A and B are shown apart, each in its own frame.
Chain A
Amino acid sequence: RKEVEQDPGPFNVPEGATVAFNCTYSNSASQSFFWYRQDCRKEPKLLMSVYSSGNEDGRFTAQLNRASQYISLLIRDSKLSDSATYLCVVMASWGKLQFGAGTQVVVTP
Chain B
Amino acid sequence: GAGVSQSPSNKVTEKGKDVELRCDPISGHTALYWYRQSLGQGLEFLIYFQGNSAPDKSGLPSDRFSAERTGGSVSTLTIQRTQQEDSAVYLCASSLFPGSSYNSPLHFGNGTRLTVT
* Contact present for A94 and B101 (CB under 8 Å): no
Q: A95 and B98: CB pair below 8 A? A: yes
The CA-CA distance from A101 to B109 in the complex, in Å, is 19
Given A43-B109, A46-B105: A99 in contact with B35 (beta carbons within 8 A): yes
Chain B residues whose C-beta falls within 8 Å of the C-beta of A45 in the assembled complex: 105, 108
Q: How many A-B residue pairs have CB under 8 A?
A: 61
**Residue numbers in B under 8 Å from A94 (CB-CB):** 98-99
Q: Bits for B89-117, please: 1 = Cβ < 8 Å to A, else 0.
A: 00100000011111001101111000000
Q: How many residues on A have C-beta within 8 angstroms of the other chain's C-beta atoms?
A: 24
Q: Is the CB of B33 within 8 A of A97?
A: yes
Residue of B nearest to A48 (CB): B102
Q: How far is the CA of A43 from the CA of B111 in the complex (A)?
A: 8
Take A95-B31, A96-B48, A99-B35 as given contacts and tell me if A46 and B43 are in contact as well, using a CB distance cutoff of 8 Å.
no
7 A–B contacts, CB within 8 A, in A order? A34-B100, A44-B91, A44-B106, A45-B108, A87-B43, A97-B45, A99-B35
